[in-house]
Amino acid sequence: MNVSIMQKAASQFGLGDPLIDSFGTGLINQSYKVSYADGKKLLLQCINQATFSQPENIIYNYRLISEQLVSGKTPLPTLSLTRNGKFFWIDESGNFWRATRFIENSYADSTPGSATKVFLAAKCFAEFSASLNNLDPEKLEIIIPGFHDLAHRYGQFEQAIKSAAIKRLLKATHVISSLRERYNLVEFYLSVKNDRENFPVRIMHHDCKISNILFDSMTHQVICPVDLDTVMPGRFYSDIGDMIRTMACTREENSTEWEQIDIVPDYYFAITDGYTEGCGQTLTRNEMQNIHYAGQMLIYMQCLRFVTDFLNNDIYYKTNYPEQNLNRALNQLILLEKLETFLEERKLQQPN
């Protein structure tokens, strides 16, 4: 990003000549810590409009949920106004900028460090959704249509198979056949989607990684969830499933150490225990009974997305070598197989 554009953007949200530093390791938006002469500190972000085509909707949702949480357990960093009284600024190139209060004396973990940290993160994400239970999900904008729609992702997968180059199809044969064998997960998703009484639409975070929880630098207790750009209506499986996929695994999704990929039992139960405790009495009986589907659904969905992108010639996910998306898909398939074994051995619920 051009330095002069960053300076101009920062000057919209504060007075004086700001000091700007790159911040975080996010792969979507560009983030900067901005310090002003009067002591004000903000997190300035340029929203990636290739991912978020209508960033004004992100601002709208953020304001809506912030108003709901103003006196709750999970207060959010406040949005900062520009000098013109708006919550965002668009530069001459069409880039979309927004800023929130920078939370001092905080940190985020890049990987789960302990079952205790995992429990606290899971509880925080659950409390976030539970605190929004009285806000009608229909009032929120859909930020990414079909984001966690498993039937939609499966349809994209089958379409990619039809149009893929033969060389890529041959390389992906094992992953393709394994995903087709597990179509029962899509059928379960459809049963959830069509039963709004037992599986109600909820306001979900949709990006529940350990790195999206801020901890206090002194007490190491949770402050709040962050990276709320994908907060929108969803179903119970999304957030807990995403945590199982990203926190309860021995290797992250880019690893090719196939034999080392597995489920960490303590982390899995820390997630399920933390999430159910954080939800309190808000989950329905059916959601509680089917909670062990969640991890399978999200891992399966991510495997679908990786192999679909591989078959589509790597047009969505950034890659560093030719078969990285296929290897990512294989990583997730192995993790799914390990989760299936883990649940079967403990006689926890398995899809029929």
Q: Measuring CA to CA, how many Å separate 245 from each of 17, 238, 269?
A: 43, 10, 13
pLDDT value for 23: 82
pLDDT value for 2: 73
pLDDT value for 273: 98
pLDDT value for 74: 63
* Token duo for residue 302: 């991510």
Residue 293 CA to residue 107 CA, distance in Å, equals 31
pLDDT value for 25: 62
CB within 8 A of 170, min separation 6: which ones? none
Q: Domains, the chain, ranges and CATH?
A: 3-102 (3.30.200.20), 115-345 (3.90.1200.10)
In a 13 Å sphere around the CA of 224, the CA atoms on its Cβ side amount to 19
pLDDT value for 108: 93
- Spell out the alpha helix ranges (H) of the chain: 3-12, 55-69, 115-131, 150-163, 166-171, 173-181, 184-193, 237-247, 265-279, 285-289, 293-311, 324-345
Run means of pLDDT, 10 residues per run, the chain, 352 residues: 84 91 75 93 93 95 90 77 95 95 93 95 96 95 96 98 98 98 97 96 96 94 94 96 98 97 98 97 95 97 98 93 97 98 89 51
What radius of gyration, in Å, describes the C-alpha atoms of the chain? 21
